[in-house]
Amino acid sequence: MEKQLDYDVVIIGAGLAGVYTALMLKPSLRIAILSAGPISKTNSYLAQGGIAAPVGVGDSPEWHFEDTMVCGHGYNSSRAVHKLTNEATEAILNLEALGVVFDKNADGSYFLGREGAHRLERILRIGDYTGRGVMETLWQRVLERSNLSIMDDAYVTAIHPSYDGCQFVEFATKDKMVRLGAQKVVIATGGLGRLYARTSNNEGIYGDGYALAMKAGLGVAHLSWVQFHPTVFYNTQGMQEGFLISEAVRGAGGLLKDSKGQRFMKDVHPMMELAPRDIVSKAILDVMKKCGSEHVWLDVTGIGSKQMHDHFPTISAYCDSKGINLDVDYIPVSPGAHYAMGGIVTDLNGMTSMPGIYAAGECAYTGVHGKNRLASNSLLEALVFGGAVARHISEAVEAIGCDGNLSQTEMAPNEGAIDDLKALNLANWMDLHMGIVKDEAAIRGMVSVLENSLASIQNEAFSVTRRREENALLVRLKMMKEVLAHDSI
């Protein structure tokens, strides 16, 4: 491919990892942010609970480190966790310098929430819409910066890494295929929750980044290490929208109850409702099986509707819309696919196995979360490791002095819709057999079916829809093969 630099840096993904990295890169660099969907259709926008950081009285990076390691069952990279917890406070200060305002107490100290497996209050928040609050502020900063270009109708179909200083990214818009060249590429495509039917994740989060990385020859690890959030709203009357009831609600006193109205976490873990997520999710699944029920109950009547509305306005409004009186009724909840602990393997600077390609945020695997992410460490991960990527690239790269007259290559018209995903038919199957409990016999049978589907898709003529289906199949196959190789949770 002819060398042709259009940008200094191309960032794939417009969630917190992508946008924060863009803002932290030196402003002399010309940067493009590509996003498959509208900028509000990210998991970052949906984040409710907040951002963990050891900023409270009596807290310390060492305690945050220990809680993260315990929650990850010791499978964490201790170097990555040290970086996360030592740099957390600086990341929060950076956000504040960009204009983000966190909730405060009357004395001006941070209002800190509590979530599962944290030994004390450690979660900085903006109401129960922290993700939206942070992202809206960061987007204002992005719009003020003339070195940042945003393309929010750009579904990336391929990355071509090279050692010669020019990486290529190909993407589809509604009507054409385009190729861009850049000195560095940052993959920030988020997780894979939408490969499951029952998920908290936003539209468009199908694990594309992992497939792009695998096809580009980059290292990818532990894609089957998926975290299931214990309390996704279960609509007893209709369509499941995957609305999350934040762990912070249990932190404020919400109690889990079975179909007879009995608490069950007391017999499971000393931290009860605030045990690590994997333990709570498994306990809920066991209770659901025992009671023959599709959900359990979250009892917030002890918190009361007044405090719920004050502290959790988004969650309260959602429950109101479903006719739930929070002073009297319980909230129906059950686990759903939430977060991918594995991903594209990077070092602590976010660099992948190819020096021109970086990864940050949920799509990256630094080993920081081990086998089970500590609540509210994910937005923090996007900040700390996105910041590291930005520093590393800024030190390594001199601006090529693009003048804004972009010479992006239009390759071909795009004639297909990009949202028609046949591969989604498998989402219910994933819930049943690749969920909290993995069914090896069913998985073994499905691997050969998917390998055949993959071969036939790869033989078809190029279309964006086929690429998307191929990506979803590649990721699912990798997940299943990990389970069969007993690299699973």
Ligand X SMILES: Cc1cc2nc3c(=O)[nH]c(=O)nc-3n(C[C@H](O)[C@H](O)[C@H](O)COP(=O)(O)OP(=O)(O)OC[C@H]3O[C@@H](n4cnc5c(N)ncnc54)[C@H](O)[C@@H]3O)c2cc1C
Contacts with ligand X by CB under 6 A lie at 12-18, 34-37, 42-44, 46-51, 130-131, 154-156, 188-190, 200-201, 204-205, 208-209, 244, 339, 361-363, 376-379, 382
| Nearest-10 crossing angle of helices 78-86, 61-71 | 140
Q: Which is nearer to ligand X, 232 or 268 (CB)?
A: 232
What is the C-alpha separation between 79 and 95, in angstroms, rounded? 23
Query: Cα dihedral sign for 477, 43, 286, 325?
Result: negative
Q: What minimum distance in Å lies between the beta carbon of 442 and ligand X? A: 26
Q: Look at strands 176-187 and 357-359 and give their pairing.
A: parallel
Q: Closest-CB residue for ligand X?
A: 15
Q: What minimum distance in Å lies between the beta carbon of 155 and ligand X? A: 5
What is the C-alpha separation between 233 and 333, in angstroms, rounded? 5
Token pair listed for 340: 């991918």
Strand order in the sheet with 123-124: 51-52, 123-124, 112-113
Q: Active site residue: 30, 125, 194, 277, which one? A: 277
Radius of gyration of the chain (CA): 22
Query: Cα dihedral sign for 417, 419, 423, 424?
Result: negative
Query: Cα dihedral sign for 338, 341, 343, 347?
Result: positive
- Beta-carbon count within 10 A of 458 CB: 11
DSSP count for the chain of H helices, then E strands: 15, 18
What is the C-alpha separation between 451 and 457, in angstroms, rounded? 10
Q: Which is nearer to ligand X, 278 or 443 (CB)?
A: 278
Q: What minimum distance in Å lies between the beta carbon of 444 and ligand X? A: 29
Q: Which is nearer to ligand X, 275 or 382 (CB)?
A: 382
Q: Which is nearer to ligand X, 268 or 308 (CB)?
A: 308
Which residue's entry shows tokens 């009507």? Answer: 175
Q: Which is nearer to ligand X, 20 or 264 (CB)?
A: 20
Strands (E) in 242-330, as ranges, are: 255-257, 296-299
Q: What minimum distance in Å lies between the beta carbon of 14 and ligand X? A: 4
Q: What minimum distance in Å lies between the beta carbon of 247 and ligand X? A: 8
Query: Cα dihedral sign for 477, 479, 483, 487?
Result: positive
- Beta-carbon count within 10 A of 206 CB: 27
Q: What minimum distance in Å lies between the beta carbon of 103 and ligand X? A: 13
Q: What minimum distance in Å lies between the beta carbon of 218 and ligand X? A: 15
In 3D, which of 322, 436, 373, 21 has the Cα closest to residue 187? 21
Q: Which is nearer to ligand X, 51 or 450 (CB)?
A: 51
Instruction: Provide the 3-class DSSP secondary structure of residue 117.
Output: coil
Q: Which is nearer to ligand X, 96 or 440 (CB)?
A: 96
Q: Which is nearer to ligand X, 381 or 482 (CB)?
A: 381
| Nearest-10 crossing angle of helices 378-396, 88-97 | 80
Phi/psi of residue 16, each to 5°?
A: -60, -40
Q: What minimum distance in Å lies between the beta carbon of 206 and ligand X? A: 7
Q: What minimum distance in Å lies between the beta carbon of 170 and ligand X? A: 10
Q: Which is nearer to ligand X, 268 or 463 (CB)?
A: 463
Phi/psi of residue 386, each to 5°?
A: -60, -40
Query: Cα dihedral sign for 80, 82, 86, 88?
Result: positive
Strands (E) in 35-154, as ranges, are: 51-52, 112-113, 123-124, 148-151
Name beta bridge partners: 220.
344
Q: Look at strands 31-34 and 7-12 and give their pairing.
A: parallel
Active site residue 277: yes
Tell me the catalytic residues: 277
